[in-house]
Structure 1
């Protein structure tokens, strides 16, 4: 399916998106949409013939566990509600622990890279097949940006993606900003990755901005698209004409005129990088628009992934995530400095998202919010999503005697009571929760 030029729809810029000219489609974060009705802005866009694609962030298909049936059902429901031609997700893990490791469940609150090993590939492919069987439309998966890399990897990113497509027939969502991020942070060549992956399997492309700090590129989605990212887009366009290209922006939203300017820069890059007339190199048969190409690879049911393979994956991912969010020792072979950078980035994102889902907290705590939250997050991993995290943080502040201002303390107490119970927890409850926190940290 030809999508054209699109932009990520976010509630904060809904009016600006509707006013943009030349927008063929939009992408909406699936988890931010209600299952039974759409925001008025998306309704108006659909009435104008604008395609809406749901983009999932919470499945964690690269994790050791099989996909959660409820999350799959929710993603399927949103695809049907939108009349979407496909749905997208990420090649990442977002949680670890639980029954496979007999340890507490940990949530990353972010997309973390899977090891490019044969074991991890086996697990990912089986999870992708489960997802494909549960969704009413084709699935496309996105490469992610990384601050860290796993030791002893057996495949390059391009090889890993090529094997994934060969085994499952899944489509690809290639984020050129993420390829640039991995070039700066991990020394991986975007051109080599594009040479190795099956570009004809691309469903569409993401373009986004970031910023470099102390030699590390942070994929913020809150800065203008940089020239190096557009250069990677040009590299991709020189190889294939992608069915769709989409601009992502998730924070620090600029005026509509600036968004229009970035879209114009993307269009100009695609025009300039288009190969001259004539047949290009033979890169195989492109998947059919309905996502059926590659089905031959799935005609014969593959052997189920062994429990031992999932267990090994679970133990490795839990050890890494625990080091990042619970302060446990770093697994062997990882760059300790990069792990600290990733850990700080996860805590900072957690603070930012909690401030968005519970804006009353930074309002009540004022300038002390961020420092208080980061201190809390350093020893208390997230285990149940951001809204619950906000409640746990408020409870922690109250238990530890803050805030110092009596009026702010009353406001925080009332806020907590309104959302979680009639009164702050009694001493026995506090002791149980403190003991649980110690166990999680071990």
Structure 2
């Protein structure tokens, strides 16, 4: 197992701070935010200093009913090679549902949703993981996610589910101790029991992150300081094994560098106090153990995919399209999850299209919530941003004429077959060509 050390999630907003923070052995980047031919200069400088970079994917949806998309797998592999990464990571989650299997429109969640801990879901997940392992150029590790909701009729604990996944596929684990704490608050699950059931020798590294509790629900925000209960879960893990790496995640509301350094010091103190021996480095010679158990036959797997697809589509449709809640779910928690998905979707739109909150000001989030109500995302975030602008303009919004002109221009620049060039002379030339051709 590769020894990583102490790291931090690399984000452009804190790139300068990360470059100056002491004792950063490695960083993790969101894979979908990196273009292999255009790696940010700040990230390249870290690599030149010998800092390991690990791509962390968020869009494969390996816990979904469908096999992973070959193009997404190819893209993840290309990023691993471009960054010289020793491994790639993803999530045990589903992020989209519907499509041909259910004879319904394909819809996207816009964030990570939990898979049911059932035999069907495990069979499908193992099959999808094996497809991904065969396609990727480096080992794969999968992360346990935070959940606001529980599936009815679950058949396994989280620890047992993860243990069987490792037994059947040899996949590595990315254990997020903040997510274990989240599931303790939201689902009543004991982090110590989950850690007792885990195959600790499969841990590739660990995530630590902050969150906040609202109305008895813990939100894994990645926008708040790391709390003591999360550090306590990290200590529980380190009493069982010395993880090869531990990483601090922060995605929004970035604090001063001194606060980040303080959180990293707290993490180092916990890992240093751990009593468990380090995982032997000889594990590097066999990065992925051979499967220890056979999966279902092709017909049984297809039937499991069908059942899982129906359940996930029913749930996601209730969360993002306003259809009735499936039987057995906590309806209050479904409302909380639905609001959380909309908030996450708005945050990502503000990131990929920062001009929109600038144009709309304080009206951005209320307008987006109204737009997202019963309008599920179907074509990715950039298409979602354009659809949001079209929704506003169709209703002659925003009311301010200057803001509406700016929004109209923004939409025109991005909705054609190719984005309008930023250079004014190039824009003029393109407009002239269109005029001469009658377009």
TM-score (norm 1): 0.91
Instruction: Tell me whether 1:351 sits opposite 2:352 in the alignment.
Output: no
Which residue of 2 is the match for residue 19 of structure 1?
20
Which residues in structure 2 correspond to 1:47-126 (within 5 Å)? Answer: 47-126=48-127
Instruction: Tell me whether 1:400 sits opposite 2:395 in the alignment.
Output: yes
1:364-388 CA distance string (max 9 Å, x none): 1121111111011012101111111
TM superposition shift of 1:311: 0.7
Change (3 A) 1:329 1:286: farther
CA distance in structure 1 between the aligned counterparts of 2:217 and 2:82, rounded to whole angstroms:
40
CA distance in structure 2 between the aligned counterparts of 1:417 and 1:291, rounded to whole angstroms:
53
TM superposition shift of 1:361: 1.1
Change (3 A) 1:335 1:285: farther
Give the match's secondary structure for 1:27: strand
CA distance in structure 2 between the aligned counterparts of 1:89 and 1:296, rounded to whole angstroms:
19
Which residue of 2 is the match for residue 263 of structure 1?
264
1:133-180 CA distance string (max 9 Å, x none): 000110000000000010000000000000000000000000000000
* Equivalent position to 2:297, from 285, 299, 303: 303
Stretch of structure 1 that moved more, 230-239 or 252-261: 252-261
Change (3 A) 1:272 1:292: closer
TM superposition shift of 1:302: 6.3
Instruction: Tell me whether 1:200 sits opposite 2:197 in the alignment.
Output: no
* Equivalent position to 2:325, from 319, 325, 330: 330
Instruction: Tell me whether 1:222 sits opposite 2:216 in the alignment.
Output: no
TM superposition shift of 1:309: 1.1
TM superposition shift of 1:296: 4.8
Give the match's secondary structure for 2:107: strand
Stretch of structure 1 that moved more, 99-108 or 397-406: 397-406
1:286–1:293: 8 Å Cα contact kept in structure 2? no
Which residue of 1 is the match for residue 411 of structure 2?
416
Change (3 A) 1:287 1:296: farther
Give the match's secondary structure for 1:26: strand
Which residue of 2 is the match for residue 431 of structure 1?
none
Which residue of 2 is the match for residue 382 of structure 1?
377
Which residue of 1 is the match for residue 424 of structure 2?
none
Gaps spanning 5+ residues in structure 1: where? 423-442
1:201–1:286: 8 Å Cα contact kept in structure 2? no
Gaps spanning 5+ residues in structure 2: where? 418-439
CA distance in structure 1 between the aligned counterparts of 2:138 and 2:356, rounded to whole angstroms:
40
TM superposition shift of 1:403: 1.2
CA distance in structure 1 between the aligned counterparts of 2:206 and 2:357, rounded to whole angstroms:
36
Which residue of 2 is the match for residue 147 of structure 1?
148
Change (3 A) 1:286 1:42: closer
TM superposition shift of 1:286: 9.1
CA distance in structure 1 between the aligned counterparts of 2:263 and 2:286, rounded to whole angstroms:
30
CA distance in structure 1 between the aligned counterparts of 2:381 and 2:291, rounded to whole angstroms:
41
1:354–1:390: 8 Å Cα contact kept in structure 2? yes
Which residue of 1 is the match for residue 232 of structure 2?
231
CA distance in structure 1 between the aligned counterparts of 2:239 and 2:30, rounded to whole angstroms:
29
TM superposition shift of 1:274: 2.4
TM superposition shift of 1:421: 3.6
1:61–1:128: 8 Å Cα contact kept in structure 2? yes
CA distance in structure 2 between the aligned counterparts of 1:251 and 1:153, rounded to whole angstroms:
33
1:200–1:287: 8 Å Cα contact kept in structure 2? no
* Equivalent position to 1:370, from 347, 365, 372: 365
